[in-house]
Structure 1
Amino acid sequence: MSTLALATPTDTATVDRITRVRLSSVTLPLPTPISDAKVLTGRQKAMTEVAMLFAEISTEAGLEGVGFSYSKRAGGPGQFAHAREIAPVLIGEDPSDIAKIWDKLVWAGASVGRSGLSVQAIAAFDVALWDLKAKRAGLPLAKLLGSHRDSVRTYNTSGGFLHSPIEEVLERAEASLASGIQGIKIKVGHPDNAVDLARVTAVRERIGDAPLMVDANQQWDRATARRMCRAFEPLNLVWIEEPLDAYDNEGHAMLASTFDTPIATGEMLASVGEHAELIRVGGADIVQPDAPRVGGITQFLKVMALADARHLQLAPHFAMEIHIHLAAAYPREPWVEHFEWLDPLFDEHLEIAGGRMHVSSRPGLGVTISEQARRWTVATHDERP
């Protein structure tokens, strides 16, 4: 006879309550101004900093979850202000009820919409709740979600911006591969298409058969995108990213059905609904959701399910500290984008070896906020009962 104890109707599940929410607005300076095609075409200014929104959620049981969202060029103060206004919604809630809390947060600020800045503020709370839940279980987040692998293919973007001379791009590409990163992505979308073709050809020649991707950052019209996709076909690219405006689903679908080189997009979409429409019309071979931009992990998992149902590849945008766990839980072999920009914000760093980024064995996301991040803090808010 089994000696295992069976649960009875009188057993009580563990219930915890949120007792404190601490918000921090952190300005992360970049070592050099960053320029992609949007800068060269005059649509945006060079990027000199990243605005980070951190949420630290504490409970009666003494647990703490850490989450973050971010904004580039503008929007950081707005995210912080919105998060501060809706933070009282969390107090007294059971932190395990993540989907319920997400709905309460989004409806608390629904008059400003259910996408964009409002859900990007919610993302910091949502990620913190998932971090806390995994810590309660004593598991890395990937394991809590149900991982398919312990490491994910990784590619580097930060050495291939358009402001960098081609020799610098080539040197950084070689250094990235030597450091254990598997693939290289460089920016395209230069006003002179011949410059793009020359730069990409030079990188292909330098790195040989290593995986190579390009990113146009939405800067081509449909005619230019067709010409450039055709010109890039012989270079055996892993993908061509954001060749068109992020909301031109039909245009992206046309490119995806015409050319052999896969089309990747999705990073600028700010809701599950926007991703659902992109996927429905066949606008991407490779979907690139961004957890902070779609409202956190709760919403990202819905996008993952939609992509998997259509047998699509996944390559999450930015925020590798979050996305390594989500990519590890995707059924199809994904890619994760490597950016070292956020390294100073955390005490721990991800291991990269053999072309792959490895999931941390630490519980939760596996990161803690550094003292340097505390020094870069420009505003805080402490919500208690």
Structure 2
Amino acid sequence: MGDRIASVRLGHYAVPLAFAVSDAKVATGRQRPLTHIDVLTCEITTTDGLTGLGFSYTTRAGCRAQFAHAKEVAPNLLGEDPSDIGRIYERLLWAGASVGRSGVATQALAAIDVALWDVKAKRAGLPLAKLLGAHRDSVRVYNTSGGYLQAPIEEVKERAAQSLKDGIGGIKIKVGQPDMRADLRRLAAVREHIGDGTPLMVDANQQWDRPSALRFGRVAEEFGLVWIEEPLDAYDAEGHARLAATLDTPIATGEMLTSVPDLVRLIDLRGADFLQPDVPRVGGITPYLRIAALADHAHLQVAPHFVMEIHVHLAAAYPRDSWVEHIEWLSPLFAERLTIEDGRMRVPDRPGLGLTLAGDAAKWRLDDIEIR
């Protein structure tokens, strides 16, 4: 009969941030400062004794809905061959077909899907990147967490310098304040502080309309940015494509899109020079791999959003040398740490994702259930 899924354990955790952070959405009153990350975990155990860990996440709202949906569909996993990931994914999609194939419905599946890939790589005795077919053993890494808008510019400069000292290769800062001149002053100060040779990115978090984004992009050309991220509404694929065709500075976007068709449209319109899919948001590694194949076919760069613990593996398996985003917010949840040196993040040599839940993670757990 072979190995089968014996049990599934789901957990909902609220992991606090060291301090509240604000981006353009907060500066313009659309959201409150971010104080914690909600995480949906999935632990799969098989009859052969293998275990796999996967997770998804939300910010501000939605994780209770993810947990509820995962709890409803998870019984369909029991007795299945854990290696049949594609078939299982389709079965879970149809189990929740009435609520669609994007958003909460598939984000709940992401935690399950990641856990299945973790099991598969562990069965092979390989890191996930090696199972997928790695092109490199490390990936370029940039820091975001030090560049949020609530921090005064001197703090941003200090944290950028520390990140570079710690071996991180690039720096990203947030822009999109009501006064664009304040953004440009902030950008100029950071560029002067870290030097012209250090990769620098900016992220507007969907703040601008098309004319404002074009105006900023033209002025910002002098700073030699690696990219301008999310200058427009995430679903304005045509507007992003127009910016990408007009500006010398590359455009990065895609992190907020929650389905394969949404990202395919962005690819088809060439709305991003750097595509930024997010495994938990698009529904797991299985749909992410479809997106990555299409992005490579279109000769695009890929810089997956957040969750470096998963994306270091997928970036290493992408044919073009990618960037991974260093945000340490989920680190307290896991016992292991990623290695960063010489501007790159190394792929862990442990089987699977190379992650286990930290011993004190239980103090952040809001809910859990085991399904047998």
Q: What amino acid does structure 1 have at the position aligned with 2:313?
A: H
Q: 1:229 aligns with which of 217, 220, 229?
A: 217
- 1:238-253 equivalent positions in 2, closer than 5 A: 238-253=226-241
SS of aligned partner of 2:72: helix
Alignment pair present for 1:261 and 2:249: yes
- 1:72-221 equivalent positions in 2, closer than 5 A: 72-208=59-195, 209-221=197-209
Query: Aligned partners of 1:63 and 1:228: how far apart in 2?
Result: 52
Deviations along 1:287-341, whole A, 9 cap, x unmatched? 0000000010001000100100000001000000000000000000100000111
Q: 1:347 aligns with which of 335, 360, 367?
A: 335
SS of aligned partner of 1:347: coil
**Shift, 1:110, TM fit:** 1.2
Query: Aligned partners of 1:69 and 1:222: how far apart in 2?
Result: 32
Deviations along 1:342-362, whole A, 9 cap, x unmatched? 111011000000100000100
**Shift, 1:64, TM fit:** 0.4
Partner of 2:21: 34
Partner of 2:323: 335
Query: Aligned partners of 2:359 and 2:368: how far apart in 1?
Result: 15
Query: Aligned partners of 1:347 and 1:166: how far apart in 2?
Result: 33
Partner of 2:288: 300
Partner of 1:375: 363
Query: Aligned partners of 2:69 and 2:9: how far apart in 1?
Result: 14
Query: Aligned partners of 1:165 and 1:207: how far apart in 2?
Result: 16
Query: Aligned partners of 2:319 and 2:359: how far apart in 1?
Result: 37
Greater CA drift, 159-168 or 374-383: 374-383
**Shift, 1:15, TM fit:** 2.6
Q: What amino acid does structure 2 have at the position aligned with 1:192?
A: D
Q: Which runs of 5+ in 1 are unaligned?
A: 1-13
Partner of 2:37: 50
Q: What amino acid does structure 2 have at the position aligned with 1:113?
A: G
Query: Aligned partners of 2:110 and 2:2: how far apart in 1?
Result: 23
SS of aligned partner of 2:319: coil
**Shift, 1:372, TM fit:** 2.1
**Shift, 1:205, TM fit:** 0.4
- 1:277-292 equivalent positions in 2, closer than 5 A: 277-292=265-280
Query: Aligned partners of 1:16 and 1:320: how far apart in 2?
Result: 30
Query: Aligned partners of 2:74 and 2:111: how far apart in 1?
Result: 11
Q: What amino acid does structure 1 have at the position aligned with 2:21?
A: I
Identity across aligned pairs (percent)? 64
SS of aligned partner of 1:158: coil
RMSD, aligned CA: 0.7
Partner of 1:309: 297
Q: What amino acid does structure 2 have at the position aligned with 1:309?
A: H
**Shift, 1:140, TM fit:** 0.2
Query: Aligned partners of 1:74 and 1:206: how far apart in 2?
Result: 37
TM-score computed with the length of structure 1 as normaliser = 0.96
Deviations along 1:144-198, whole A, 9 cap, x unmatched? 0000000000000000000000000000000000000000000000000000000
SS of aligned partner of 1:342: helix
Query: Aligned partners of 1:260 and 1:177: how far apart in 2?
Result: 26
Q: What amino acid does structure 1 have at the position aligned with 2:217?
A: C
SS of aligned partner of 1:78: helix
Query: Aligned partners of 1:184 and 1:169: how far apart in 2?
Result: 10
SS of aligned partner of 1:202: helix
